[in-house]
Amino acid sequence: MAFKERVFSGVQPSGNLHLGNYLGAIVNFVALQERYDCIYCVVDLHAITIWQDPAELPRATREVTAAFIACGIDPKKHIIFNQSQVAEHAELAWIFNCVARVGWLNRMTQFKEKAGKDRENASVGLYVYPNLMAADILVYRATHVPVGEDQKQHLELSRDIAQKFNNDFAASIHAHGYGDAFFPQPEPLIQGPATRVMSLRDGSKKMSKSEPSDYSRINLTDDADAIAQKIRKARTDPEALPSEEKGLEPRPEADNLVGIYAALAGQTKAQVLREFGGGQFSNFKIALVDLAVAKLGPIGNEMKRLVQDPVYINGVLADGATRARVLAAETMNAVKDIVGFVR
Ligand code: TRP
């Protein structure tokens, strides 16, 4: 059976959005609107797998929503909503808790990283997080999922869950007239202009909201002064920029800044080096500040304007949730029939 092409992705409302989220994910979300029907979700159910202050969570949810809109996602043509408003996500996740195997979840590297040494004390939600992620995608029978590199393993698990559901319930799926497969095999789209934006303080670590130093990242709401200061202070080495990309290989910090420039300018790293290779790092940084301020400044300003209008943002989320619920309910009703629940 051919599945209707549909894009789904999610961003957690936990902490500030930064340049890594923008170049690694959101830019891609924006581009995909031209070719697909898209559903973009603020995944608040995922966020609470780690403690979130209830006084902060609504603000964070609206900030991600504002970022989606400020970056150019159209909430009328596509769907933007927050996960907790569509109960079918949690409902399908329960079914998937009964499809996925403990052994599969035990292999998830992100759980091991996030739970750290004190695994006994991690929430159960953090452990079954990938099952909820599979439900997010499959409750819309989405076919394409733009994600960062770090989510690839979770997406593979989603595919395994879809396949096991299709196999385990094959007879029932067939009997209910859904053909050979009820769920598609969702495909990751890992392209983005820069799939790995690294910390400005350490070129071997990813830019992250959990890094203590704010100088390690550029937040989407940073003003021009903050952007300029952070780029000026970004760690570099004493050498001039190379003229060839190969020259960046042993220099992670230089590679990262050239990569950021390239992604923001819509160029390749080779093109950037043709312009700046052989020149002083300080001159390149001045050009990078100008570019970053020109590209990110308007987004940050628009985000700040939007978050001051919570009534508007809440309205966007409520409208998106209403439209998402229609699609999700259709899947969930079919799943209930397939599994054998009386309704
Ligand atoms: N786990 C993703 C992250 O932390 C967020 C997410 C939740 C997601 N559900 C999703 C991404 C479904 C893609 C599809 O980045």
Instruction: Note the pLDDT tens digit of each residue in 251-279.
Output: 999 999 999 999 999 999 999 999 999 99
Q: What is the pLDDT of residue 193?
A: 65
Q: Ligand 1 centroid to 11 CA: how many Å?
A: 6
> 134 CB under 6 A from ligand 1?
no
Q: What is the pLDDT of residue 230?
A: 97
> 12 CB under 6 A from ligand 1?
yes
> 137 CB under 6 A from ligand 1?
yes
**Residues of the chain under the 50 pLDDT cut:** none
Name beta bridge partners: 148: none
Whether 100 and 83 map to the same domain: the answer is: yes
> Is residue 121 assigned to a domain?
yes
Whether 301 and 318 map to the same domain: the answer is: no
| Count of domains observed in the chain | 2
Active site residue 114: yes
> Is residue 202 assigned to a domain?
no
Among the listed residues 77, 152, 164, 209, the single catalytic one is 209
Whether 320 and 232 map to the same domain: the answer is: no
Whether 35 and 90 map to the same domain: the answer is: yes
For residues 134 and 111, what is the distance between their CA atoms, to the nearest angstrom?
A: 15
Which residues, 6+ apart, have CB-to-CB distance to 291 below 8 Å? 261, 264, 265
> 133 CB under 6 A from ligand 1?
yes
Whether 263 and 323 map to the same domain: the answer is: no
> Is residue 289 assigned to a domain?
yes
Number of residues assigned to the chain = 343
> Is residue 320 assigned to a domain?
yes
Nearest alpha-carbon partner for 329 in 40, 163, 91, 84: 91
> Is residue 1 assigned to a domain?
no
Whether 300 and 315 map to the same domain: the answer is: no
Among the listed residues 4, 76, 77, 114, the single catalytic one is 114
**Structure tokens, 184:** 């598609």
Whether 185 and 271 map to the same domain: the answer is: no
**CA-based radius of gyration for the chain:** 21
CB-based contact 92:136 (threshold 8 Å): no
User: How crowded is residue 77: how many other Cβ atoms within 10 Å of its Cβ?
Assistant: 9
Q: What is the pLDDT of residue 265?
A: 95
> 195 CB under 6 A from ligand 1?
no
Whether 71 and 111 map to the same domain: the answer is: yes
> Is residue 246 assigned to a domain?
yes
Active site residue 206: yes
CATH number at residue 299: 1.10.240.10
Whether 15 and 156 map to the same domain: the answer is: yes
CB-based contact 89:83 (threshold 8 Å): yes
Whether 178 and 239 map to the same domain: the answer is: no
> Is residue 286 assigned to a domain?
yes
At residue 274, φ and ψ (nearest 5 deg) are -60, -35
Among the listed residues 76, 77, 152, 206, the single catalytic one is 206
Nearest alpha-carbon partner for 299 in 246, 227, 196, 230: 227
For residues 29 and 3, what is the distance between their CA atoms, to the nearest angstrom?
A: 20
Whether 81 and 109 map to the same domain: the answer is: yes
Q: What is the pLDDT of residue 107?
A: 97
Whether 36 and 182 map to the same domain: the answer is: yes
Expressed as residue numbers, the domain containing 87 is 6-195+309-339
CB-based contact 299:71 (threshold 8 Å): yes
CATH number at residue 124: 3.40.50.620
> Is residue 160 assigned to a domain?
yes
Q: What is the pLDDT of residue 85?
A: 98
Nearest alpha-carbon partner for 80 in 122, 37, 112: 37
* The overall pTM is greater than 0.85: yes
For residues 267 and 43, what is the distance between their CA atoms, to the nearest angstrom?
A: 32
Active site residue 285: no
Q: What is the pLDDT of residue 4?
A: 93
